[in-house]
Amino acid sequence: MLIRKHERRAYQYAFRLTSNADEAADIVGDAFVRVYNALQNFRGQSAFTTWLYRILTNCYLDMRKREKNKQHVSLDAPTTVAGMEHERQVEDPAASPETAVEKSERERAVQEAVAQLPEYQRAMLTMYHVENLSYEEISEALDLPIGTVKSRLNRARLSLRELLLKDEELFQL
Amino acid sequence: MNPNKAREHFSAYYEGSLDPGLKQSFERKLATDAAIQAEYQAFARAVDQLNELKNLPIETPFDLHDRITARLDHHLWERKQKRAFSLVGWWKAVAVGGLATVAILATIFSLKGGGGQYTAGALTSPVREEVRLLMKGDRLQLSYRASGRATIKIHEGVGGKVLQTIQLDRQAVESPISNAGEKPTLVSITCSADSRRMVVALPGTTPSREVEGDGTVSDLALAAAGYYQVPVRIETEALDAKVRWKLVGETVSEAVSSDLDQSGLALEKRDGMLVILKH
């Protein structure tokens, strides 16, 4: 019952951290094992979802520690077909208007930039901007003072801005 | 307001949570510093775009629930397997012969002028006139300063066979105490000049994965030492009192939340090790 209620949200959070479906599913599986082991010690000091976010974040950080050298095949890496190199083509399902393409490019740039941030910053930005957790909830989830959460989030946003500078033309109004 | 200070306020200004005085100061900075203004505008665009991320749909795998329950089932199966291999609790199977693996490398220092100074250069901590056990890195260390004659004995188990005797005459001793054996072991330390007896379980080289069990307080100390891989001191006299336990977490900090089944006992973190004591 508990799993059914929270698995989808847990998965979406884990996916936003990892951008990988298998890793996200593994993180969620590990998280629910930890929930099972620690449930009787959960005394309701925070909302269950806040506690779950904490566990998910820890599972994600633990996974990153273990798999630092994991390699992914880049969609931009050329493939070799019959001795010639072709760039892999991904069909763009979006409609043709220029603004839709530009919007999609901006989203891609932001996602790529977030993926380049240190894991802890990525988790905090995702919690706040995507999962809509408040500063108080993030403070509880990460066991940090609210002031620290605010200053680290500010730093994460500043780091993101730096990474996006090279794609600045996509963000000009 | 300097640029670095201004950057610290970007988020608060964006969210409208800067207090009025600071907001005025910040806006003055924006108006007079074109570079910071440009930075802030880029910052605001980036945050706007961050807020759009939640609108990007994420498809949940159709088999997510099955994968989670399979993971949980596997975890429960692993726990059952471990229990099946230790019907009586492996901590009870510590062989007496294994205690020969306790290593005590006492370094004795001479005291000069009534005990105020030390001649040996390797003394790493101020030594008190009581037997002390403390953690140095990840090793347990015994420290003692004898202002007169004293004899320290380290026993196997609780008051059992003497493993080492250290004779002191206005000298100080520092000694790491470690267990090179696979399984945790219990030692007790007495000093002729100190009426207390110290009992401590030393972790072995192989961590335990058993979180639940029942037995005496000594058994609990051995189980906790094996699981958390830290020394566990017993600070209650009732070493043979019965207790059921369920250890939690994986770190010493989490250990204090372990369930000791209303025994009136508690696990406390102190000086890098765990201590079993009465509430």
| Residue among A3, A21, A164 minimizing CB distance to B46 | A164
Does B65 sit within 8 Å of A4, measured CB to CB? yes
Record the tokens describing residue B112, joined without a space. 């000069």
Distance (Å, whole) CA A66 – CA A60 = 10
Could you give the CA distance from residue B187 to residue A60 in angstroms, rounded to a whole number?
Answer: 40
Tokens at B23, concatenated = 């907001």
Contact B65 A11 (CB under 8 A): no
What is the distance between the alpha carbons of residues B158 and B150, in angstroms, rounded to a whole number? 20
Best A157, A162, A164 residue to mutate vs chain B (most B CBs within 10 Å):
A157
Q: What is the pLDDT along chain B (279 residues), one digit of tens a residue?
A: 889 999 999 999 999 999 999 999 999 999 999 999 999 999 999 999 899 888 888 899 888 888 888 888 888 877 766 555 444 444 444 433 344 456 665 555 554 434 433 333 334 445 456 788 888 877 888 888 888 888 888 888 888 888 888 888 888 888 888 888 888 999 999 888 877 789 999 998 888 888 888 889 999 999 999 999 999 999 988 888 888 888 888 777 778 878 887 778 888 888 888 999 887
CA separation for the pair B45, B243 (Å, rounded): 60
pTM of the model: 0.50
Which amino acid is it at A25? A
| B44–chain A Cβ distance below 8 A for any pair | no
Q: Residue type at B255?
A: A
Task: Give me B139's structure tokens.
Answer: 């090793």
The ipTM of this complex is: 0.73
Instruction: For residue B45, give the nearest of A15, A32, A171 by CB distance.
Output: A171
